Amino acid sequence: MSDNFDQWKALADKESKGADLSRETLEGIRLKTVYGPEDAAGIDSGYPGVAPYTRGPYATMYAGRPWTIRQYAGFSTAEESNAFYRRNLAAGQKGLSVAFDLATHRGYDSDHPRVAGDVGKAGVAIDSVEDMKLLFDGIPLAEMSVSMTMNGAVLPVLAFYIVAGEEQGVARRDLTGTIQNDILKEFAVRNTYIYPPEPSMRIVADIIAYTSREMPKFNSISISGYHMHEAGATAVQELAYTLADGMAYVRAAQGAGLDLDAFAPRLSFFFGIGMNLFMEVAKLRAARTLWARIMTGLGAQSEKSKLLRTHCQTSGVSLTEQDPYNNVVRTTVEALAAVLGGTQSLHTNSFDEAMALPTDFSARIARNTQLILAEESGVTAVADPLGGSWYVEALTRELEVKAQALIDEVEAHGGMTKAVAEGLPKQRIEEAAAARAAKVDIGETVIVGVNRYRLAEEAELDILEVDNAKVRAGQIARLEKMRKSRDEARVRSALDALEAGASGGANLLELSVEAARARASLGEISDALERVFGRYATTPHPVSGIYGKTRDDVRWDEAVAGTVAVAQRMGRRPRILVAKMGQDGHDRGANLVSSAFGDLGFEVIAGPLFQTPREAAELAVAKQVDVVGASSLAAGHKTLIPELIRLLKEAGRPDIKVFAGGVIPPQDYQMLRDAGVVGIYGPGSNIVECAADVLRLLGHNMPPEGLSEAGQ
């Protein structure tokens, strides 16, 4: 230590009155108040474009070419989404990133009875090649890089895209973009899977094989940490599990006989970017270092195979329903972190996405955030401008070491496929999410406008409203028209060949392309595969003992006492069903509620994913619950929750109280109240206060502080 450090230490001790000002992050990293040369001693991050690529995959980075502005969007119909895309491209967006609705994700045509509330709500409905052609009408696929977030129904969606390109006159070899095709993270956190893990991994390998042979400009997989981030993963968990997923895919492709250096340069990654600016910068830098090392260990000879190229998206989970204009600032901070970390493309979330799909107005602000960073801020002038920062270099190394330890743990379990099947990553991520939520609830983690500096009154926002019934009717009409005009014998032959190929060893994407050409629908292609592979299902198992651990919180203690009092009066613990209806698999909020209420002393029934209102009502009656907490994140609440309440009444149980939580626009609150919902809790709601409301409605006289809207 230098004399200067000693001088600083003396001054710091005096200013802090001897208090320890270091902070521990959720990653278990202790941040010092100041960093110096000794913290980065022995660290050589090299130069951008040069192994180990810590400082970026390309030598000149944004000085040569800025990142691609690739906004993720899709809603309603193919025609509506196409118009939205064309407006955004005209305004400066450079690439397309397509969001599909949940019916499409889960392999159902729009006329399937299980998806009545999901069609067109959280993305665009795509039932056939005809829809895909409309989606890209007037958008030249020979010139446009297209990213598609699709995993479960990846075969029909990619097949539709290939055929739509063909019918535009674009050869497969000229198509550019990315298909997500990351099924392991679906089993870990996002849950939009269709088939069991083993055949799902075969599909991944078949797509890698086909695209490496037929589509040399197209990225065959986008290995996604983003959805782990959204589920509550720490930066270390997101980093480690994402790279471990990548290792599993590489091994699957190698196991299918593919040459590593033939397909590895087309692998890409996708990370979420949160509010801890320097942590996120360090995460991207550490990711590149680790991937280069991993690929070398797996046998890569080409330097291109060792490059980690990534898309990033600002955090959805950091967006708040309360004081939503603050989200503009949050997105800006996160976008800056992604850029300083060296991303290759970026999506910036709109400020209103905690309540609904973005409007043109909010989408313009989100897009312009990137344009201002690229054109006005000066960040594109220098490759890796934070390189050499003692803090950033030390943090990068610490993330690298901690992530490697988690990767080693996964490897000890036999790799990520087995670890996912055992539920290891899911449990770890849910524990981290519960720990963070608890810190927010007690104010230890500050969220401006939510648990500190709250507005006395929230202003109403204009939001995008999708008429689900109208969209579904239009999709069904187009499906019927297509089915009447196609050659049924050709369709049947193509689907039979696909089913036989699934039973054998044929390339499933190649067969899916033939089925798409014949005008087989998405649901028909998915069903052919399901007849061989089956449809996968799991039941949630919420973590326990995390949310309430080591809490020093009066409100928590009051809620625990209230739960005990209600249990004594009832002669049993109060019972809550946490219901996930519709095809939305995002279960972070539902899992948090289950974990917190369980720690408070409730008996929690965690309902299976993808229930219909009837199935949820039948389960509520069978389990004799007192309360149903209906979680909605994908805009199905106006259809699904009133139907649940109606069915509970029909079953003779109108006394079961129904709460709603998740992404619900305030404009819809009154409609839900009129339908019988007794409490509504959006993103940022304090779970302990929610529990207090439930206890009051069960007859307990909780103290009045902190009443949420249900108790007002």
**Separation between Cα atoms, residue 191 and residue 469, nearest integer Å:** 25
Q: Pick the closest to residue 134 from 158, 168, 108, 169 (CA basis).
A: 168
What sign has the CA pseudo-torsion 564, 570, 573, 574?
Answer: negative
Distance, first Cα to last Cα, the chain: 59
Catalytic site includes residue 72: yes
Question: CA 419, CA 635: separation in Å to the nearest integer?
Answer: 32
Residue 496 is a catalytic residue: no
Rounded CA separation 631/32 (Å): 40
Active site residue 226: yes
Residue of 584, 587, 599, 693 marked catalytic = 584
Q: Is it true that the peptide bond before 52 is cis, omega within 30 degrees of 0?
A: yes
Q: Which one of the listed residues 53, 58, 72, 547 is annotated catalytic?
A: 72
Distance CA 518, CA 516 (A): 5
- Helices then strands, counting H and E runs in the chain, come out as 26, 16
> Is 586 in the active site?
yes
- Compute CA distances 111 → 259, 485, 585, whole Å: 42, 18, 20
Which residue among 53, 108, 210, 226 is the active-site one? 226
Q: Where are the alpha helices (DSSP H) in 651-697?
A: 669-675, 687-697
Nearest-angstrom CA–CA distance, 529 and 195: 8
Neighbours of 316 (CB within 10 A): 18
* Catalytic-role residue among 185, 580, 637, 657: 580
Give how far Cα 562 sits from Cα of 403, 446, 567, 601, 602, Å. Answer: 41, 27, 9, 9, 11
Query: Which two tokens mark 642?
Result: 């009133």
DSSP character at residue 506: S
User: And the tokens for 632?
Assistant: 């909605």
Residue 549 catalytic? no
Annotated catalytic residue: which of 227, 637, 638, 657? 227
Residues with Cβ < 8 Å from 156, sequence gap 6 or more?
107, 512, 515, 516, 520, 521, 522, 525, 526
State yes or no: is 112 an active-site residue.
Answer: no
Q: With residue 291 as reference, give the H or E element that holds it.
A: helix 277-297
Q: What are phi and psi of 377, to 5 degrees?
A: -85, -20
Q: Which residues are catalytic?
A: 72, 226-227, 580, 584, 586
